[in-house]
A and B are shown apart, each in its own frame.
Chain A
């Protein structure tokens, strides 16, 4: 390997851009061009019920796997039929009452799949399938597959009947005024929650399977004709690229389709609130709902959307504005305050007033460790208390936060492990961190804070300047599905509503310029 190979001179990875100069739409679900195009060989469709029975027995190891129910019967008393469903996933009542009984008692002249589906099967959602792979997936998903002797297709009947959690209030995105519903693990329920809020004809929900084995069912939600088509295509293309089997959560999926996986900042917004998801979809974002995960993924996302909370629009304009200002100030203080204080204490004492100097000197009189170690130790303890409070359920978790904060803080000061001034700084910084609405961004900010503290310890304000500049450079270069992470501030876009302050509610009626939606075009057509 040559030095030139290490430094560069290779072809640039295909970067997706959402600018006007991009043309064409990639084929949906096309394999990635560098990927190995080979796909798994599919068994042929069984010719008879017996073959179908044997196929399922073999494929699902029914001697060990007792969940799969293979029910052979005679449709109309004359024609061989096979109903296949998964115990616990399919609703037994639906299968028995609306499939087996009507089919068995059918007394029509012609027993064909067509006739049976039209006249006897009392199920709403029905489709025909000739791909064995898709039949398998449907059965595993809680559908019932119906085979008839001699037919070249199977009927897939909607018989979902598994247990699922009811709709609760959001745990992580609480608001005082506003909706109290959150997503659940059921994809169908989540889709319903979004559809209840968006009554637009152009709302499209494409449900597909992704992952190496196609094990993860997800829904891609967007507004057809509004959402940028290149964005939709790019999302689908990245999903098609995923070869990993066994994806269970939206968090893992989000990491697999992000632009920069090594960045501490998320480039996809994860939310458990249907109103937030609906709001973003209305503005031209794409929403991914994943079976088994109570979080929706929204893309593209910017830093400012990570910093906004649903509560902002529920409050009146002056109050929403104040809330946002406090939030941004809190976030900035959370990252910079400990490092700034440390740099003043170690390098630039002249900036502090005599009163503060005198107080800090007195408070650190018997503290044995250097102020930098003290700061890092307190930040670490704060993180410990935070994590412990989250892991422990219910009221005990809240109590740990209070006990940890008060008791340990007081004990640390009494034992001269920490000084009161540094404790206050760390506590204020921690509170500022909690102002950040998005959990991933909170964590990123708390670790950036530690980097800033170390930089301040090493170099004072110069160290902080270097750290801030490096972080800002990374953030400025970050993109989320082609949209620059700091849009609409850098780059500036055509936008009426303010970025940090809460604008008028009327300003939210049009999608953002940075989303490059077709919204304006539709208005010009008179829609």
Chain B
């Protein structure tokens, strides 16, 4: 037989031999997957944890039934894998975590430090991206998840971007990912803080308003003065601060804003301050211009924050010619004092949420020296000075317009 034919037969035989060994790499078609967008973790009744998974619905099913964009699955388990096993036995698809964006922990589980168990053992196995955001909920995480999705919008991941928009627009929300948590806990240069939210079942959402309209009812008749109407039932009320993996305190939205200013995460936000005697108020648009922190060897330090301010609204009784002095003088002092208050709150909760550790590390030339320094313990004695300067951007405009 010709050499070329023998070679061809040998090549085909080798290919036929190798091909069954390769085989497929265990594909799972996307229509056989349930894509988990959010995971909620609560304390379980009979088992350790109660997990809630919010899944994205396929679009046409939602169009046909008009029941909303999310499906929630819940199950108990000693670990997330046990809960997944139980759930997958009862649904015609396998859970896919590659699109998981939110991990929501109840306050109880966060304060117990249960985040560590989920994050350190499960992520690589579940293929959850470490860009997923951690949230702590005041009440049950499963309730909070239910309040995150509006029934009239099929695309639930777009609704989740409301959190990001809140951060950008108001600066009163802190959004941090799992990778930051891992960095904080392994490197000990700072402590983690996550968004802190609450579920309010009394809020009349957009969908409920539409439904009651179609029933011929005034949709807002049950809404009292002081209650919020419209939007989602779940909302962010501040930040949860951590020491390692454990949650140790809660900050309000204003306190979160100050924290963001010191960490440099603040962009812009409008805050209403009392003017001098407290009877009048001024709403000021603040933007972060520059920020620096430093730590000295004697455990003192400084946080220098430069802000720009523009007055959005003020009471008529507030004189125009005093605004500039008030902004650059008194208001700067108020903010600096409030920052110190927030720092002390964090310190008492053993949380370096303001990230002074990232300044402390610059004092050292080697990793051994830094490890020996033990910033976590030294932080308890650390006391920085907060220096806030405010630049009135209105002043320039007003002068030039005259």
Residues of A in contact with B (beta carbons under 8 Å apart): 1, 5-6, 10, 345-350, 352, 354-355, 357-365, 370-371, 457-460, 462-463
Contacts and interface: CB of A to CB of B under 8 A. Distances in A.
Contacts of A1: 1, 3, 6
Contact of A354 (B3, B25, B35): B35
A345 B154 contact: no
B33 interface: yes
A349 B10 contact: no
Given A349-B33, A361-B31, 11 more contacts: A345-B30, A347-B27, A347-B28, A348-B98, A349-B30, A349-B96, A350-B98, A352-B30, A357-B99, A459-B24, A462-B25
Contacts of A459: 22, 24-25
Contacts of A371: 29-31
Nearest to A361: B58
Contacts of B22: 458-459
Contacts of B157: 354
Interface of B: 1, 3, 6-7, 10, 22-25, 27-31, 33, 35, 37, 56-61, 96, 98-99, 127, 129, 154-157
A354 B27 contact: no
A350 B100 CA distance: 9
Contacts of B30: 345-346, 349, 352, 357, 360-361, 364, 371
A350 B129 contact: yes
A393 to B, nearest CB: 39
B354 to A, nearest CB: 34
A460 B56 contact: no
B99 A346 contact: no
A362 B29 CA distance: 13
A355 to B, nearest CB: 6
A377 to B, nearest CB: 15
B120 to A, nearest CB: 21
B58 A362 contact: yes
Nearest to A363: B60
B3 A5 contact: yes
A457 B24 CA distance: 7
Contacts of A357: 30, 35, 56, 99
A466 B61 CA distance: 38
Contacts of B60: 362-363, 365
A349 B25 CA distance: 14
Nearest to A347: B27
Given A349-B30, A370-B29, A462-B25, A358 B58 contact: yes
Contacts of B24: 457-459
A112 B332 CA distance: 123
A358 B27 contact: no
A472 to B, nearest CB: 19
7 nearest CB pairs, A to B = A350-B98, A346-B27, A362-B58, A362-B60, A361-B58, A354-B157, A364-B31
A349 B98 contact: yes
Given A359-B59, A360-B30, A350 B99 contact: yes
A1 B3 CA distance: 9
Contact of A6 (B3, B57, B127, B129): B3
A459 B22 CA distance: 9
Contacts of A352: 30
A354 B58 contact: no
A6 B6 contact: yes
Nearest to B129: A350
A358 B56 contact: yes
A6 B35 contact: no
A5 B2 CA distance: 11
A347 B98 contact: no
A451 to B, nearest CB: 13
Contacts of A346: 27-30
Nearest to B8: A262
Contacts of A463: 25
Contact of A365 (B27, B56, B61): B61
Most buried by B among A355, A362, A365: A362
A196 B27 CA distance: 60
Contacts of A355: 155
B25 A6 contact: no
Nearest to B7: A6
B29 A458 contact: no
Contacts of A5: 3
A10 B6 CA distance: 15
A10 B4 CA distance: 12
Contacts of B23: 458
A462 B23 CA distance: 13
Nearest to A6: B6
Contacts of B156: 354
A371 B28 CA distance: 10
Given A6-B3, A6-B7, A458-B25, A354 B57 contact: no
Most buried by B among A10, A355, A357, A358: A358
Contacts of A348: 98
A52 B31 CA distance: 83
A457 B25 CA distance: 9
Most buried by B among A355, A357, A360, A365: A357
A421 to B, nearest CB: 11
A70 B7 CA distance: 55
15 contacts: A1-B1, A345-B29, A346-B27, A346-B28, A349-B35, A350-B99, A350-B129, A357-B56, A358-B155, A362-B59, A364-B31, A365-B31, A370-B29, A457-B27, A459-B25
B71 to A, nearest CB: 12
A277 to B, nearest CB: 34
A457 to B, nearest CB: 7
Contacts of A358: 56-59, 154-155
A15 to B, nearest CB: 17
B59 A6 contact: no
Contacts of B61: 362, 365
A445 to B, nearest CB: 23
Given A346-B28, A350-B129, A355-B155, A6 B10 contact: yes
A349 B36 CA distance: 12
A364 to B, nearest CB: 4
Contacts of A360: 30-31
Nearest to B101: A354
A460 B155 CA distance: 27
Contacts of B59: 358-359, 361-362
B4 to A, nearest CB: 10
B27 A460 contact: yes
B130 to A, nearest CB: 13
Most buried by A among B3, B31, B155: B31
A466 to B, nearest CB: 10
Contacts of B99: 349-350, 354, 357
B113 to A, nearest CB: 29
Nearest to B64: A362
Contacts of B6: 1, 6
A363 B61 CA distance: 10
A348 B27 CA distance: 9
A371 B31 CA distance: 9
B127 A365 contact: no
B255 to A, nearest CB: 33
B146 to A, nearest CB: 19
Contacts of B127: 350
B29 A354 contact: no
